[in-house]
């Protein structure tokens, strides 16, 4: 059976969507798009320009004005991809704690989502793509040929985030990270517009206790229809 043209990978914050999605795209030779990075880039631009994360009209205009590009890693520093905001590398800047705190607010502004979803669908119409986010299979690409909902316990996601930060020389307590993840889960799952949820036809892949290689193999199994087990 041939590989699908479009792959949607959804899941909560810290589930490993970006890492696994980038590896899947590399393995298949597809374009990789982390939609969460697009919302983070808008949040970063808003913070730098002093725009309130609840100011829908200004955020919408900002989303139309800025240029966000996501491509293969340009630096060997642990990144899964490189994010450019108006030509400047912001790959790690969009992962800063202050962006973690406001990105869910930015992402729930309906017209910001409209702007970015339009861009995401346009890209998917042109190329074979692996797209990751929180509402890809349910909203952005409801007709995606393969849908995966990647998840892990909040405690496991906090542990991974702590290790990721430590690898970059940043130290934050696991309890603080856990509280942040639980807050993000609450905001993302209860927002009125495109809430975090698995599409009815998505295959659940739980990654607690799995290495990156093991999680990748499970996701590839779903995509290639080798296995449907979590």
Q: Which fold has domain 6-223?
A: Rossmann fold (3.40.50)
Domain boundaries, the chain: 6-223
How many Cβ atoms sit within 10 Å of the Cβ of residue 187?
Answer: 17
The single residue listed with the structure tokens 């939609």 is 35
pLDDT given for residue 2 in this prediction: 64
Spatial separation of the C-alpha atoms in residues 21 and 159, rounded to whole Å: 20
pLDDT (tens digit per residue) in 84-133: 999 999 999 999 989 989 998 999 899 999 999 999 999 999 999 999 99
- Closest listed residue to residue 155, CA positions, set 185, 172, 175: 175
pTM: 0.84
């Amino acid at each position: 059976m041939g590989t699908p043209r479009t792959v949607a990978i959804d899941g909560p914050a810290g589930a490993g969507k970006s890492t696994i999605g980038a590896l899947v795209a590399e393995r298949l030779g597809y374009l990789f798009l982390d939609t969460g990075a697009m919302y983070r880039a808008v949040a970063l631009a808003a913070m730098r320009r002093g725009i309130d994360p609840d100011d829908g009209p200004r955020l919408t205009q900002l989303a139309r004005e800025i240029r966000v590009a996501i491509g293969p890693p340009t630096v060997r520093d642990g990144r899964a991809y490189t994010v450019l905001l108006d030509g400047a590398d912001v790959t790690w800047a969009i992962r800063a704690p202050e962006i973690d705190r406001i990105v869910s607010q930015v992402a729930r502004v309906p017209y910001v989502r409209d702007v970015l979803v339009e861009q995401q669908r346009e890209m998917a119409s042109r190329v074979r793509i692996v797209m990751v986010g929180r509402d890809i299979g349910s909203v952005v690409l409801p007709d995606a040929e393969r849908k995966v909902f990647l998840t892990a316990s909040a405690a496991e996601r906090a542990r991974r985030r702590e290790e990721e930060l430590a690898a970059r020389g940043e130290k934050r307590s696991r309890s603080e990270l856990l509280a942040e993840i639980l807050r993000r889960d609450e905001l993302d799952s209860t927002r009125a517009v495109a809430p975090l949820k698995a599409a009815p036809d998505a295959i659940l892949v739980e990654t607690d206790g799995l290495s990156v290689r093991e999680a990748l193999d499970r996701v590839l199994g779903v995509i290639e229809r080798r296995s449907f087990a979590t």
